[in-house]
Amino acid sequence: MAAPWEDVLLNEPAVREAASVAVDAALLEGVLMRTEGEPNASDVVNYAPFTLLPSAVPSALFEQAYAVQQDFNLLVDAISQNKEFLEHTLASTIKVDDFTARLFRIHMQVLEEGLAQSVFLGINRSDYMFDCGVDGTPALKQIEINTIAASFGGLTSRTAAVHGRVLKVLGKSKEASRLLPNNPSKGLALGIAKAWELYGSQSAVVMFLVEEVQRNIFDQRCVENELWDRNIRVIRKRFRDVFEKGSLDDAKRLYMDGQEVAVVYYREGYVPKNYDRQNWEARLLLERSRAVKCPDIATQLAGTKKVQQELSRPGTLERLLPGHTEAVTRIKATFAGLYSLDTGEEGDKIAAMAIADPDQFVLKPQREGGGNNLYGEELRQVLEKIRDSPERTSYILMDKIKPQPAMNYLLRAHSPLQVSECISELGIFGVYVRQGKEMVMNEAAGHLLRTKAIEHADGGVAAGVAVLDTPYLV
Ligand code: ADP
Ligand code: MG
Protein backbone atom coordinates (compact mmCIF):
# COMPACT_ATOMS: atom_id res chain seq x y z
CA MET A 1 0.00 0.00 0.00
CA ALA A 2 3.06 2.23 0.20
CA ALA A 3 3.53 5.12 -2.21
CA PRO A 4 6.62 4.98 -4.41
CA TRP A 5 8.50 7.81 -2.74
CA GLU A 6 9.88 6.21 0.34
CA ASP A 7 13.32 6.71 -1.27
CA VAL A 8 13.09 10.51 -1.08
CA LEU A 9 11.40 10.86 2.30
CA LEU A 10 14.63 11.05 4.25
CA ASN A 11 16.69 12.90 1.67
CA GLU A 12 16.78 16.18 3.53
CA PRO A 13 18.03 18.56 0.81
CA ALA A 14 15.53 17.17 -1.69
CA VAL A 15 12.70 17.45 0.81
CA ARG A 16 13.62 21.06 1.66
CA GLU A 17 13.68 22.10 -1.97
CA ALA A 18 10.42 20.30 -2.69
CA ALA A 19 8.75 21.93 0.34
CA SER A 20 9.64 25.43 -0.78
CA VAL A 21 8.35 24.70 -4.29
CA ALA A 22 5.21 23.18 -2.74
CA VAL A 23 4.38 26.21 -0.63
CA ASP A 24 4.74 28.63 -3.53
CA ALA A 25 2.72 26.34 -5.78
CA ALA A 26 -0.03 26.20 -3.14
CA LEU A 27 -0.17 29.99 -3.00
CA LEU A 28 -0.22 30.23 -6.80
CA GLU A 29 -2.93 27.59 -7.18
CA GLY A 30 -5.08 29.17 -4.47
CA VAL A 31 -4.81 26.65 -1.63
CA LEU A 32 -5.47 29.56 0.70
CA MET A 33 -6.80 30.42 4.11
CA ARG A 34 -7.08 33.63 6.01
CA THR A 35 -4.88 33.89 9.09
CA GLU A 36 -5.86 33.29 12.67
CA GLY A 37 -4.84 36.86 13.50
CA GLU A 38 -7.00 38.40 10.76
CA PRO A 39 -9.75 35.90 10.08
CA ASN A 40 -12.09 38.40 8.42
CA ALA A 41 -9.73 40.24 6.08
CA SER A 42 -7.92 39.11 2.97
CA ASP A 43 -5.03 41.59 3.21
CA VAL A 44 -2.84 38.91 4.70
CA VAL A 45 -3.50 35.32 3.75
CA ASN A 46 -1.55 32.11 3.98
CA TYR A 47 -1.59 28.67 2.44
CA ALA A 48 -3.97 26.13 3.93
CA PRO A 49 -1.96 23.31 5.53
CA PHE A 50 -1.23 20.38 3.22
CA THR A 51 1.00 17.33 2.90
CA LEU A 52 4.27 17.57 1.02
CA LEU A 53 3.49 14.33 -0.82
CA PRO A 54 0.30 12.69 -1.97
CA SER A 55 -0.75 9.70 0.15
CA ALA A 56 -1.31 6.19 -1.10
CA VAL A 57 -4.95 5.14 -1.29
CA PRO A 58 -5.94 1.61 -2.35
CA SER A 59 -7.74 2.05 -5.67
CA ALA A 60 -10.35 -0.63 -4.93
CA LEU A 61 -11.42 1.21 -1.76
CA PHE A 62 -11.42 4.54 -3.56
CA GLU A 63 -13.76 3.10 -6.18
CA GLN A 64 -15.91 1.51 -3.50
CA ALA A 65 -16.32 4.89 -1.79
CA TYR A 66 -17.42 6.52 -5.06
CA ALA A 67 -19.74 3.63 -5.89
CA VAL A 68 -21.67 3.90 -2.61
CA GLN A 69 -22.14 7.67 -2.68
CA GLN A 70 -25.40 7.76 -4.63
CA ASP A 71 -26.74 5.18 -2.18
CA PHE A 72 -25.84 7.43 0.73
CA ASN A 73 -27.52 10.37 -1.01
CA LEU A 74 -30.70 8.30 -1.33
CA LEU A 75 -30.45 7.21 2.28
CA VAL A 76 -29.98 10.69 3.73
CA ASP A 77 -32.85 11.97 1.62
CA ALA A 78 -35.09 9.09 2.74
CA ILE A 79 -34.30 9.73 6.43
CA SER A 80 -35.04 13.43 6.05
CA GLN A 81 -38.56 12.57 4.84
CA ASN A 82 -39.22 9.99 7.54
CA LYS A 83 -40.73 11.87 10.47
CA GLU A 84 -41.37 8.74 12.53
CA PHE A 85 -37.82 7.47 12.13
CA LEU A 86 -36.25 10.76 13.22
CA GLU A 87 -38.68 11.10 16.09
CA HIS A 88 -38.10 7.59 17.35
CA THR A 89 -34.32 7.63 16.84
CA LEU A 90 -33.71 10.98 18.49
CA ALA A 91 -36.20 10.54 21.34
CA SER A 92 -33.59 9.62 23.96
CA THR A 93 -30.99 12.09 22.65
CA ILE A 94 -33.20 15.17 22.75
CA LYS A 95 -33.98 14.56 26.40
CA VAL A 96 -30.36 15.22 27.30
CA ASP A 97 -28.86 17.17 24.39
CA ASP A 98 -30.23 20.68 24.22
CA PHE A 99 -28.76 21.51 20.80
CA THR A 100 -30.29 18.50 19.06
CA ALA A 101 -33.53 19.18 20.93
CA ARG A 102 -33.73 22.74 19.60
CA LEU A 103 -33.09 21.62 16.03
CA PHE A 104 -35.71 18.95 16.49
CA ARG A 105 -38.30 21.42 17.78
CA ILE A 106 -37.86 23.58 14.68
CA HIS A 107 -38.18 20.47 12.53
CA MET A 108 -41.51 19.59 14.20
CA GLN A 109 -42.77 23.15 14.01
CA VAL A 110 -42.22 23.48 10.26
CA LEU A 111 -43.84 20.11 9.66
CA GLU A 112 -46.88 21.13 11.66
CA GLU A 113 -47.18 24.37 9.71
CA GLY A 114 -46.79 22.42 6.47
CA LEU A 115 -43.58 22.58 4.41
CA ALA A 116 -43.44 25.59 2.11
CA GLN A 117 -40.32 24.21 0.45
CA SER A 118 -40.88 21.85 -2.48
CA VAL A 119 -37.38 21.61 -3.96
CA PHE A 120 -34.72 19.91 -1.83
CA LEU A 121 -30.95 20.12 -2.21
CA GLY A 122 -28.53 17.89 -0.34
CA ILE A 123 -24.78 18.38 -0.27
CA ASN A 124 -23.00 15.90 1.95
CA ARG A 125 -19.61 14.36 2.45
CA SER A 126 -19.19 10.78 3.54
CA ASP A 127 -15.87 10.27 5.34
CA TYR A 128 -13.92 7.03 5.59
CA MET A 129 -10.73 5.54 6.94
CA PHE A 130 -8.98 2.43 5.73
CA ASP A 131 -9.19 -0.05 8.55
CA CYS A 132 -6.29 -2.44 8.66
CA GLY A 133 -7.55 -5.97 9.31
CA VAL A 134 -5.61 -8.66 11.17
CA ASP A 135 -4.22 -10.02 7.89
CA GLY A 136 -3.19 -6.50 6.82
CA THR A 137 -5.91 -6.09 4.19
CA PRO A 138 -7.39 -2.60 4.35
CA ALA A 139 -11.18 -2.13 4.42
CA LEU A 140 -13.25 0.97 3.77
CA LYS A 141 -15.00 2.05 6.98
CA GLN A 142 -17.23 5.08 7.30
CA ILE A 143 -16.33 7.56 10.02
CA GLU A 144 -19.42 9.73 9.57
CA ILE A 145 -21.51 11.52 7.00
CA ASN A 146 -21.67 15.31 7.10
CA THR A 147 -25.00 16.68 5.94
CA ILE A 148 -24.38 20.34 6.73
CA ALA A 149 -21.54 22.70 5.81
CA ALA A 150 -19.30 19.93 4.42
CA SER A 151 -16.24 21.92 3.49
CA PHE A 152 -12.98 21.85 1.48
CA GLY A 153 -14.66 20.95 -1.82
CA GLY A 154 -13.05 24.10 -3.23
CA LEU A 155 -9.50 24.01 -1.89
CA THR A 156 -9.16 20.29 -2.53
CA SER A 157 -9.65 20.88 -6.24
CA ARG A 158 -6.29 22.67 -6.24
CA THR A 159 -4.05 20.24 -4.40
CA ALA A 160 -3.49 17.81 -7.28
CA ALA A 161 -1.68 20.53 -9.24
CA VAL A 162 0.53 21.29 -6.24
CA HIS A 163 1.38 17.65 -5.61
CA GLY A 164 1.98 17.12 -9.31
CA ARG A 165 4.58 19.88 -9.22
CA VAL A 166 6.24 18.44 -6.12
CA LEU A 167 6.51 14.99 -7.68
CA LYS A 168 8.11 16.44 -10.79
CA VAL A 169 10.66 18.34 -8.71
CA LEU A 170 11.46 15.03 -7.03
CA GLY A 171 11.98 13.35 -10.40
CA LYS A 172 8.68 11.48 -10.41
CA SER A 173 6.96 12.78 -13.56
CA LYS A 174 5.33 9.48 -14.36
CA GLU A 175 3.69 9.36 -10.93
CA ALA A 176 2.70 13.04 -11.25
CA SER A 177 0.75 12.27 -14.41
CA ARG A 178 -1.30 9.68 -12.53
CA LEU A 179 -2.84 12.13 -10.04
CA LEU A 180 -6.56 12.41 -10.68
CA PRO A 181 -8.29 15.67 -11.53
CA ASN A 182 -10.90 16.53 -8.92
CA ASN A 183 -13.30 19.45 -8.58
CA PRO A 184 -16.05 19.00 -5.99
CA SER A 185 -16.86 22.73 -5.94
CA LYS A 186 -18.09 22.48 -9.51
CA GLY A 187 -20.38 19.55 -8.66
CA LEU A 188 -21.66 21.37 -5.58
CA ALA A 189 -22.39 24.45 -7.67
CA LEU A 190 -24.22 22.37 -10.30
CA GLY A 191 -26.51 21.11 -7.53
CA ILE A 192 -27.10 24.61 -6.20
CA ALA A 193 -27.72 25.87 -9.75
CA LYS A 194 -30.25 23.10 -10.39
CA ALA A 195 -32.12 23.91 -7.18
CA TRP A 196 -32.07 27.61 -8.07
CA GLU A 197 -33.46 26.85 -11.53
CA LEU A 198 -36.26 24.65 -10.15
CA TYR A 199 -37.16 27.30 -7.59
CA GLY A 200 -38.10 29.24 -10.68
CA SER A 201 -37.37 32.92 -10.22
CA GLN A 202 -34.72 34.46 -12.49
CA SER A 203 -34.19 37.43 -10.20
CA ALA A 204 -33.79 35.42 -6.98
CA VAL A 205 -30.35 34.98 -5.42
CA VAL A 206 -28.38 32.21 -3.71
CA MET A 207 -27.54 33.10 -0.12
CA PHE A 208 -24.44 31.61 1.52
CA LEU A 209 -25.07 31.64 5.24
CA VAL A 210 -21.62 32.20 6.70
CA GLU A 211 -19.98 32.32 10.10
CA GLU A 212 -18.87 35.42 11.99
CA VAL A 213 -15.28 34.21 11.68
CA GLN A 214 -14.50 33.41 8.06
CA ARG A 215 -11.02 31.95 7.74
CA ASN A 216 -12.08 29.42 5.15
CA ILE A 217 -13.65 31.94 2.78
CA PHE A 218 -11.56 30.92 -0.24
CA ASP A 219 -12.98 27.42 -0.12
CA GLN A 220 -16.46 28.95 -0.29
CA ARG A 221 -15.46 31.40 -3.02
CA CYS A 222 -14.64 28.42 -5.28
CA VAL A 223 -18.31 27.41 -5.16
CA GLU A 224 -19.48 31.03 -5.44
CA ASN A 225 -17.38 31.59 -8.55
CA GLU A 226 -18.88 28.57 -10.26
CA LEU A 227 -22.32 30.10 -9.65
CA TRP A 228 -21.35 33.57 -10.88
CA ASP A 229 -19.96 31.86 -13.99
CA ARG A 230 -23.51 30.57 -14.57
CA ASN A 231 -24.91 34.08 -14.05
CA ILE A 232 -26.43 33.22 -10.69
CA ARG A 233 -26.16 36.00 -8.14
CA VAL A 234 -24.64 35.07 -4.75
CA ILE A 235 -24.91 37.00 -1.49
CA ARG A 236 -23.08 36.20 1.75
CA LYS A 237 -24.97 36.78 5.00
CA ARG A 238 -24.74 35.81 8.66
CA PHE A 239 -27.56 34.70 10.95
CA ARG A 240 -27.41 38.18 12.46
CA ASP A 241 -28.17 39.74 9.05
CA VAL A 242 -31.11 37.37 8.60
CA PHE A 243 -32.45 38.32 12.01
CA GLU A 244 -32.18 42.01 11.18
CA LYS A 245 -33.19 42.06 7.52
CA GLY A 246 -34.85 38.79 6.61
CA SER A 247 -38.60 38.49 6.04
CA LEU A 248 -41.25 36.23 4.54
CA ASP A 249 -44.14 37.34 2.34
CA ASP A 250 -47.62 35.77 2.34
CA ALA A 251 -46.42 32.87 0.20
CA LYS A 252 -43.45 32.39 2.56
CA ARG A 253 -41.01 33.61 -0.05
CA LEU A 254 -37.78 34.65 1.71
CA TYR A 255 -36.46 38.18 1.23
CA MET A 256 -33.18 39.72 2.34
CA ASP A 257 -32.99 43.48 1.95
CA GLY A 258 -35.82 43.24 -0.58
CA GLN A 259 -34.03 40.55 -2.62
CA GLU A 260 -35.78 37.23 -3.07
CA VAL A 261 -33.68 34.22 -1.98
CA ALA A 262 -34.04 30.96 -3.93
CA VAL A 263 -31.40 28.86 -2.14
CA VAL A 264 -29.87 29.10 1.33
CA TYR A 265 -26.53 27.27 1.46
CA TYR A 266 -25.44 26.82 5.08
CA ARG A 267 -21.74 27.02 5.87
CA GLU A 268 -22.74 27.77 9.45
CA GLY A 269 -25.24 26.57 12.02
CA TYR A 270 -23.86 23.11 12.85
CA VAL A 271 -22.57 23.73 16.39
CA PRO A 272 -24.19 25.28 19.48
CA LYS A 273 -21.76 28.19 19.53
CA ASN A 274 -23.21 29.39 16.20
CA TYR A 275 -26.46 30.25 17.96
CA ASP A 276 -27.76 32.84 20.35
CA ARG A 277 -31.44 33.66 20.82
CA GLN A 278 -31.57 35.85 17.71
CA ASN A 279 -29.76 33.29 15.58
CA TRP A 280 -32.26 30.61 16.57
CA GLU A 281 -35.02 32.94 15.48
CA ALA A 282 -33.25 33.54 12.19
CA ARG A 283 -32.88 29.78 11.69
CA LEU A 284 -36.60 29.30 12.28
CA LEU A 285 -37.43 32.01 9.76
CA LEU A 286 -35.25 30.35 7.12
CA GLU A 287 -36.71 26.91 7.80
CA ARG A 288 -40.28 28.18 7.53
CA SER A 289 -39.54 29.78 4.17
CA ARG A 290 -40.14 28.47 0.69
CA ALA A 291 -36.43 28.87 -0.16
CA VAL A 292 -34.43 25.71 -0.84
CA LYS A 293 -32.34 25.12 2.27
CA CYS A 294 -29.14 23.18 1.85
CA PRO A 295 -29.71 21.34 4.09
CA ASP A 296 -33.21 21.63 5.45
CA ILE A 297 -33.34 20.98 9.18
CA ALA A 298 -34.54 17.37 8.74
CA THR A 299 -31.46 16.62 6.63
CA GLN A 300 -29.22 18.20 9.25
CA LEU A 301 -30.79 15.88 11.84
CA ALA A 302 -30.25 12.93 9.49
CA GLY A 303 -26.52 13.59 9.88
CA THR A 304 -26.42 13.27 13.67
CA LYS A 305 -24.21 10.63 15.26
CA LYS A 306 -27.28 9.11 16.92
CA VAL A 307 -28.90 8.51 13.53
CA GLN A 308 -25.66 6.99 12.25
CA GLN A 309 -25.66 4.55 15.15
CA GLU A 310 -29.30 3.63 14.64
CA LEU A 311 -28.68 2.90 10.93
CA SER A 312 -26.35 0.07 11.87
CA ARG A 313 -29.11 -1.83 13.69
CA PRO A 314 -30.16 -4.94 11.76
CA GLY A 315 -33.18 -4.24 9.56
CA THR A 316 -33.06 -0.44 9.74
CA LEU A 317 -31.58 0.19 6.29
CA GLU A 318 -33.98 -2.30 4.74
CA ARG A 319 -36.91 -0.40 6.24
CA LEU A 320 -35.60 2.99 5.14
CA LEU A 321 -34.73 1.92 1.60
CA PRO A 322 -37.30 -0.73 0.63
CA GLY A 323 -36.58 -2.33 -2.74
CA HIS A 324 -32.96 -1.09 -2.80
CA THR A 325 -31.32 -4.38 -1.84
CA GLU A 326 -28.01 -3.71 -3.58
CA ALA A 327 -27.71 -0.19 -2.22
CA VAL A 328 -28.33 -1.53 1.29
CA THR A 329 -25.58 -4.13 0.83
CA ARG A 330 -23.11 -1.52 -0.42
CA ILE A 331 -23.90 0.84 2.44
CA LYS A 332 -23.66 -1.88 5.10
CA ALA A 333 -20.24 -2.96 3.87
CA THR A 334 -18.85 0.43 4.95
CA PHE A 335 -20.22 0.38 8.49
CA ALA A 336 -17.96 -0.09 11.48
CA GLY A 337 -19.43 -1.35 14.75
CA LEU A 338 -21.72 1.29 16.28
CA TYR A 339 -23.43 0.97 19.65
CA SER A 340 -26.23 2.69 21.53
CA LEU A 341 -25.61 3.86 25.09
CA ASP A 342 -29.31 4.42 25.78
CA THR A 343 -30.55 3.65 29.28
CA GLY A 344 -31.30 -0.03 29.75
CA GLU A 345 -29.65 -3.42 29.65
CA GLU A 346 -28.19 -3.11 26.15
CA GLY A 347 -26.58 0.23 27.00
CA ASP A 348 -25.26 -1.09 30.33
CA LYS A 349 -23.50 -3.95 28.56
CA ILE A 350 -22.00 -1.64 25.94
CA ALA A 351 -20.74 0.79 28.58
CA ALA A 352 -19.13 -2.07 30.52
CA MET A 353 -17.52 -3.39 27.33
CA ALA A 354 -15.99 0.03 26.52
CA ILE A 355 -14.77 0.62 30.06
CA ALA A 356 -13.04 -2.76 30.02
CA ASP A 357 -11.23 -2.10 26.71
CA PRO A 358 -11.30 1.63 25.91
CA ASP A 359 -8.61 1.51 23.22
CA GLN A 360 -10.93 -0.40 20.91
CA PHE A 361 -13.56 2.36 20.85
CA VAL A 362 -14.39 6.02 20.25
CA LEU A 363 -17.00 7.80 22.38
CA LYS A 364 -18.89 10.44 20.40
CA PRO A 365 -21.25 13.19 21.53
CA GLN A 366 -23.77 14.80 19.13
CA ARG A 367 -21.29 17.38 17.88
CA GLU A 368 -19.62 18.33 14.62
CA GLY A 369 -16.42 20.05 13.63
CA GLY A 370 -13.76 17.91 15.29
CA GLY A 371 -12.21 17.77 18.73
CA ASN A 372 -15.27 16.44 20.56
CA ASN A 373 -14.70 12.69 20.66
CA LEU A 374 -13.13 10.78 23.51
CA TYR A 375 -10.52 8.04 23.30
CA GLY A 376 -8.59 5.65 25.51
CA GLU A 377 -8.15 6.55 29.16
CA GLU A 378 -10.27 9.70 28.85
CA LEU A 379 -13.08 7.66 27.30
CA ARG A 380 -12.92 5.26 30.24
CA GLN A 381 -12.99 8.00 32.86
CA VAL A 382 -15.91 9.87 31.31
CA LEU A 383 -17.93 6.75 30.71
CA GLU A 384 -17.36 5.59 34.27
CA LYS A 385 -18.58 8.93 35.54
CA ILE A 386 -21.77 9.01 33.47
CA ARG A 387 -22.39 5.28 33.46
CA ASP A 388 -25.54 5.49 35.60
CA SER A 389 -26.71 8.91 34.48
CA PRO A 390 -29.07 9.84 31.63
CA GLU A 391 -26.21 11.92 30.20
CA ARG A 392 -24.88 8.64 28.81
CA THR A 393 -27.54 8.71 26.10
CA SER A 394 -26.13 11.90 24.57
CA TYR A 395 -23.18 9.79 23.33
CA ILE A 396 -22.77 6.89 20.95
CA LEU A 397 -19.94 4.37 20.93
CA MET A 398 -18.04 3.30 17.83
CA ASP A 399 -15.35 0.75 17.04
CA LYS A 400 -12.02 2.48 16.64
CA ILE A 401 -10.72 2.29 13.08
CA LYS A 402 -7.03 1.51 12.89
CA PRO A 403 -5.41 2.46 9.59
CA GLN A 404 -1.85 1.57 8.60
CA PRO A 405 0.27 4.72 9.09
CA ALA A 406 2.58 6.12 6.39
CA MET A 407 5.36 8.72 6.55
CA ASN A 408 4.81 12.21 5.20
CA TYR A 409 5.57 15.86 5.90
CA LEU A 410 2.74 18.15 7.03
CA LEU A 411 3.33 21.66 5.71
CA ARG A 412 1.93 24.34 7.97
CA ALA A 413 2.83 28.02 8.06
CA HIS A 414 5.39 28.85 10.79
CA SER A 415 5.96 25.18 11.63
CA PRO A 416 9.22 23.25 11.35
CA LEU A 417 9.61 20.77 8.52
CA GLN A 418 9.61 17.32 10.07
CA VAL A 419 8.59 13.87 9.02
CA SER A 420 5.49 12.43 10.72
CA GLU A 421 3.74 9.13 10.90
CA CYS A 422 0.35 9.83 9.36
CA ILE A 423 -3.09 8.43 8.67
CA SER A 424 -5.62 9.64 6.13
CA GLU A 425 -9.37 10.10 5.89
CA LEU A 426 -11.09 10.03 2.50
CA GLY A 427 -14.30 12.01 1.95
CA ILE A 428 -16.62 11.73 -1.03
CA PHE A 429 -18.94 14.63 -1.80
CA GLY A 430 -22.53 13.80 -2.68
CA VAL A 431 -25.05 16.13 -4.32
CA TYR A 432 -28.72 15.53 -4.98
CA VAL A 433 -31.81 17.53 -5.85
CA ARG A 434 -35.37 16.40 -5.32
CA GLN A 435 -38.48 18.12 -6.61
CA GLY A 436 -41.52 16.94 -4.69
CA LYS A 437 -41.09 13.15 -4.70
CA GLU A 438 -38.86 12.99 -7.76
CA MET A 439 -35.05 12.80 -7.59
CA VAL A 440 -33.81 14.97 -10.43
CA MET A 441 -30.10 14.81 -9.61
CA ASN A 442 -28.05 12.28 -7.65
CA GLU A 443 -24.27 12.44 -8.06
CA ALA A 444 -20.90 11.85 -6.47
CA ALA A 445 -19.17 15.21 -6.94
CA GLY A 446 -15.51 14.58 -6.10
CA HIS A 447 -13.29 13.72 -3.17
CA LEU A 448 -11.26 15.14 -0.31
CA LEU A 449 -8.28 13.47 1.31
CA ARG A 450 -7.20 14.75 4.71
CA THR A 451 -4.15 13.50 6.56
CA LYS A 452 -3.03 13.92 10.16
CA ALA A 453 -0.19 12.79 12.40
CA ILE A 454 -1.10 9.69 14.39
CA GLU A 455 -0.56 11.38 17.75
CA HIS A 456 -3.83 13.27 17.18
CA ALA A 457 -6.80 10.99 17.74
CA ASP A 458 -9.31 13.57 16.57
CA GLY A 459 -9.81 16.64 14.46
CA GLY A 460 -10.18 18.04 10.96
CA VAL A 461 -8.43 20.71 8.90
CA ALA A 462 -10.43 23.60 10.34
CA ALA A 463 -9.59 22.32 13.84
CA GLY A 464 -5.88 22.63 12.96
CA VAL A 465 -5.08 18.93 13.12
CA ALA A 466 -5.51 17.41 9.67
CA VAL A 467 -4.10 18.86 6.44
CA LEU A 468 -5.18 18.70 2.79
CA ASP A 469 -3.81 15.86 0.73
CA THR A 470 -4.21 14.24 -2.70
CA PRO A 471 -4.83 10.51 -3.16
CA TYR A 472 -2.27 8.51 -5.12
CA LEU A 473 -4.04 5.34 -6.14
CA VAL A 474 -2.13 2.11 -5.60
P1 ADP B 1 -16.76 15.42 13.68
O2 ADP B 1 -18.21 15.61 13.40
O3 ADP B 1 -16.28 16.16 14.86
O4 ADP B 1 -15.93 15.62 12.44
P5 ADP B 1 -16.04 12.62 13.42
O6 ADP B 1 -16.91 11.47 13.70
O7 ADP B 1 -15.71 12.87 12.00
O8 ADP B 1 -16.69 13.89 14.10
O9 ADP B 1 -14.71 12.45 14.23
C10 ADP B 1 -13.66 13.40 14.19
C11 ADP B 1 -12.35 12.73 13.90
O12 ADP B 1 -12.09 11.72 14.87
C13 ADP B 1 -12.30 12.02 12.57
O14 ADP B 1 -11.92 12.91 11.55
C15 ADP B 1 -11.27 10.94 12.82
O16 ADP B 1 -9.96 11.46 12.68
C17 ADP B 1 -11.48 10.58 14.28
N18 ADP B 1 -12.41 9.44 14.40
C19 ADP B 1 -13.76 9.50 14.44
N20 ADP B 1 -14.30 8.27 14.52
C21 ADP B 1 -13.28 7.42 14.54
C22 ADP B 1 -13.19 5.98 14.62
N23 ADP B 1 -14.27 5.23 14.71
N24 ADP B 1 -11.95 5.42 14.60
C25 ADP B 1 -10.84 6.20 14.54
N26 ADP B 1 -10.86 7.53 14.47
C27 ADP B 1 -12.06 8.16 14.46
MG1 MG C 1 -15.77 14.45 10.78
User: Could you report the per-residue pLDDT of 259-291, keeping only the tens digit for each?
Assistant: 999 999 999 999 999 999 999 999 999 999 999
How far apart are the CA of 2 and the centre of ligand 2, in A?
Answer: 25
Q: Are residues 59 and 198 in the same domain?
A: yes
Q: What residue numbers bound the domain in which 361 lies?
A: 338-400
Give the pLDDT of residue 1.
57
**Is the same domain home to 355 and 459?**
no
Q: Are residues 229 and 326 in the same domain?
A: yes
Residue 452, annotated ligand binder? yes
Residues 95 and 188 in one domain: yes
**Per-residue confidence (pLDDT) for residue 158, from 0 to 100:** 98
What tens digit of pLDDT does each residue of 45-77 get?
Answer: 999 999 999 999 999 999 999 999 999 999 999
Beta bridge partners of 365: 395
Question: Which residue has the CA at smallest separation from atom 16 of ligand 1?
Answer: 458
125 is catalytic: yes
Please answer whether residues 170 and 8 qualify as being in contact, where contact means their C-beta atoms are separated by less than 8 angstroms: yes
CATH number for the domain spanning 288: value is 3.40.50.1760
The model's pTM = 0.97
Residue 297 and residue 279: Cα distance in Å, rounded?
14
| Distance (Å, whole) CA 33 – CA 217 | 7
Residue to probe by mutation, ligand 1, list 458, 465, 469, most atoms within 8 Å of CB: 458
Distance CA(103)–CA(100), nearest Å, equals 5
Q: How far apart are CA 282 and CA 11, in angstroms?
A: 55
16 part of a folded domain: no
Inside any domain, residue 108: yes
- The answer to whether residue 288 sits within a structural domain is yes
Cβ 392 vs Cβ 437: under 8 Å? no
pLDDT of 94-136, one tens digit each? 999 999 999 999 999 999 999 999 999 999 999 999 999 888 8
* One domain for residues 308 and 276: yes
Q: Could you give the number of structural domains in the chain?
A: 2
Return the SS3 of 145. Answer: strand
129 and 193 both lie in a single domain = yes
321 and 353 within one domain: no
Name the residue with the closest Cα to ligand 1, atom 2. 368
Mark whether 318 and 346 lie in a shared domain.
no
CA–CA distances in Å: residue 249 to residues 191, 253, 256, 289, 290? 26, 5, 11, 9, 10
Is position 274 annotated as part of the catalytic site? no
The Å distance, Cα 169 to ligand 1 centre, comes to 34
- Please report the atom of ligand 1 found closest to the CA of residue 460: 14
The per-residue pLDDT for 282 is 98
Which one, of 24, 5, 61, lies nearest residue 447 by Cα? 61
Check which CATH number belongs to the domain holding 393 and give it. 3.30.1490.50
23 belongs to a structural domain: no
**Do 278 and 352 lie in a common domain?**
no
Asked if residue 35 is part of any domain, the answer here is no
Q: Distance, CA 458 to ligand 1 centroid (Å)?
A: 6
How many Å lie between the centroid of ligand 2 and the Cα of residue 372?
A: 10
Q: 168 catalytic, yes or no? A: no
- Write the pLDDT tens digit of every residue in 219-245: 999 999 999 999 999 999 999 999 999
Q: Which atom of ligand 1 is nearest to the CA of 361?
A: 23
